[in-house]
């Protein structure tokens, strides 16, 4: 099979769950048996907040995968996006304003769409990532019969737009990340007649952290874009509340007893609309390499995940794979679904404060050990790469055979 991937951004230094999912899947598929070619069609943008052209246009190779980048016509138009969003997605729900909203949302790259049309018969399958952006909204309809759609859908206003739902209606097959995502989409549009499966993204099962890797101070770790939309301000406030209320209490942490005040919060990811308030215990680490990301996970007391919108939550699965507990919001159906099925992880939300949930996590090492063991087993049974690739390739073969 010859498989093309279509995604809005792509690169080792691209900070985003769907984009990381796409890259890891493309790299694993390129090494799969009976796959003769893999190519990624993407833009020159790196930053989703501006879509500014960062990479050079043209064809290159990244980790053994062919990548072709196309220039974005203009940077993100926030004012137009807000205007058309109010008309199309909020108040009057004017369908005529949906297309202008998606154009303002971007990244607009007409040359990418032309390349897809010109390459239509060069590939057996085109894998479109995320339902929310221009390459999928306007590209998938051009290659509908050859499309395998990975929507990474969230419960947000855009998912009600006719143009967004069109991709689900036209796609030959759909690869969902979780059962919760499939149920969400089914509540918006009938997908019962479209071939689909819960595929997800593979996660490597790593070894547990060793005492030799012990950090100077214990820390909690957040991975992802450091911005309001990801719930980071609430996370910081919850962490500061814990230190104020329980800073003088000693906890049996993973590498000996420490006071609550000894904890740091490390925010690892490209900074969006947030800036430091000067708290020396909140560390803005910036974008980190994959190797550094793994080191940070292995050394953390817990990985904290405050975002309410998720289609998979790679951070949660990666932490469990490394034997690290997680503390996530109960207001995200996807993360709560993982926790319920795995019987793993700790949650905070309206019914239980972050400080209270963190206190529970740190207080009982036996329960912590049981939780991480259950999490590792869940990842092994559901998100190990061989299982994920088998499910993905089954859908890809279905699409290819239909043509």
CATH assignment of the domain containing 150: 3.40.50.2000
Regarding whether 251 and 155 lie in a shared domain, the answer is: no
Regarding whether 389 and 371 lie in a shared domain, the answer is: no
Regarding whether 217 and 348 lie in a shared domain, the answer is: yes
Residue 225 confidence (pLDDT): 85
Q: What is the mean pLDDT of residues 246-253?
A: 94
How many CB atoms neighbour CB 89 within 10 A?
19
Between residues 76 and 43, the one the model is more confident about: 43
Residue 269 confidence (pLDDT): 87
* pLDDT band of 291, cuts 50, 70, 90: confident
pLDDT at 400 over 90: yes
| pLDDT tens digits, 146-181 | 999 999 998 888 898 899 999 999 999 999 999 999
| pLDDT tens digits, 4-29 | 999 999 999 887 789 999 999 999 99
pLDDT at 212 over 50: no
| pLDDT tens digits, 299-332 | 999 999 998 888 788 889 999 999 999 999 999 9
Sign of the Cα torsion 204, 207, 208, 211 reads: negative
Between residues 67 and 95, the one the model is more confident about: 67
Regarding whether 301 and 158 lie in a shared domain, the answer is: no
Q: What is the mean pLDDT of residues 273-298?
A: 87
Residue 215 confidence (pLDDT): 66
The boundaries of the domain holding residue 279 are 211-383
Regarding whether 323 and 280 lie in a shared domain, the answer is: yes
Number of independent structural domains in the chain: 2
Residue 213 confidence (pLDDT): 53
- The mean predicted confidence, pLDDT, of the chain is 91
Residue 211 confidence (pLDDT): 44
Residue 220 confidence (pLDDT): 96
Regarding whether 274 and 326 lie in a shared domain, the answer is: yes
Q: What is the mean pLDDT of residues 22-46?
A: 96
* pLDDT band of 63, cuts 50, 70, 90: very high
Residue 207 confidence (pLDDT): 60
Regarding whether 371 and 252 lie in a shared domain, the answer is: yes
* pLDDT band of 210, cuts 50, 70, 90: low
Regarding whether 178 and 308 lie in a shared domain, the answer is: no
Regarding whether 340 and 266 lie in a shared domain, the answer is: yes
Regarding whether 273 and 155 lie in a shared domain, the answer is: no
Regarding whether 125 and 11 lie in a shared domain, the answer is: yes
Residue 214 confidence (pLDDT): 57
Regarding whether 130 and 112 lie in a shared domain, the answer is: yes
């Amino acid at each position: 099979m010859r498989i093309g991937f279509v995604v809005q951004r792509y690169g080792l230094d691209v900070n985003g769950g769907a984009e990381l999912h796409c890259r890891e899947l493309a790299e694993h598929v390129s090494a799969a048996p009976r796959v003769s070619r893999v190519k990624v069609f993407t833009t020159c943008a790196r930053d989703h907040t501006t879509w500014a052209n960062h990479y050079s246009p043209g064809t290159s190779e990244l980790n053994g995968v062919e990548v072709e980048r196309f220039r974005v016509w203009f940077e993100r138009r926030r004012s137009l996006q807000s205007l058309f969003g109010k008309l199309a997605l909020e108040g009057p729900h004017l369908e005529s304003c949906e297309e202008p909203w998606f154009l303002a949302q971007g990244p607009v790259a007409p040359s990418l769409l032309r390349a897809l049309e010109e390459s239509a018969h060069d590939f057996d399958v085109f894998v479109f990532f995320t339902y929310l952006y221009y390459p999928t909204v306007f590209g998938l309809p051009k290659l509908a019969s050859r499309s395998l759609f990975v929507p990474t859908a969230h419960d947000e206003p855009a998912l009600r737009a006719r143009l967004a739902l069109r991709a689900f209606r036209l796609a030959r097959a759909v690869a969902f990340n979780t059962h919760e995502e499939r149920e969400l989409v089914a509540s918006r549009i009938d997908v019962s007649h479209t071939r689909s499966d819960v595929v997800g993204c593979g996660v490597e099962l790593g070894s547990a952290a060793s005492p030799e890797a012990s950090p100077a101070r214990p820390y909690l770790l957040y991975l992802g874009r450091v911005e309001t939309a990801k719930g980071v301000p609430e996370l910081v406030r919850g962490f500061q509340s814990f230190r104020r209320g329980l800073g003088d209490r000693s906890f049996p942490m993973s590498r000996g007893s420490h006071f609550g005040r000894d904890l740091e919060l490390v925010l690892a990811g490209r900074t969006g609309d947030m800036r430091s308030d000067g708290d020396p215990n909140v560390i803005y680490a910036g974008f980190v390499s994959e190797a550094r990301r793994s080191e940070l996970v292995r050394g953390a007391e817990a990985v904290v995940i405050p975002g309410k919108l998720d289609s998979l939550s790679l951070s949660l699965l990666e932490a469990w794979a490394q034997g690290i507990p997680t503390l996530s919001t109960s207001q995200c159906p996807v993360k709560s679904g993982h926790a319920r099925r795995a019987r793993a992880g700790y949650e905070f939300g309206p019914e239980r404060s972050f400080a209270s949930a963190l206190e529970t996590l740190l207080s009982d090492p036996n329960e912590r050990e049981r939780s991480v063991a259950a999490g590792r087993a869940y990842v092994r049974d559901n998100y190990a790469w061989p299982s994920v690739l088998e499910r993905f390739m089954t859908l890809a073969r279905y699409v290819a055979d239909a043509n």
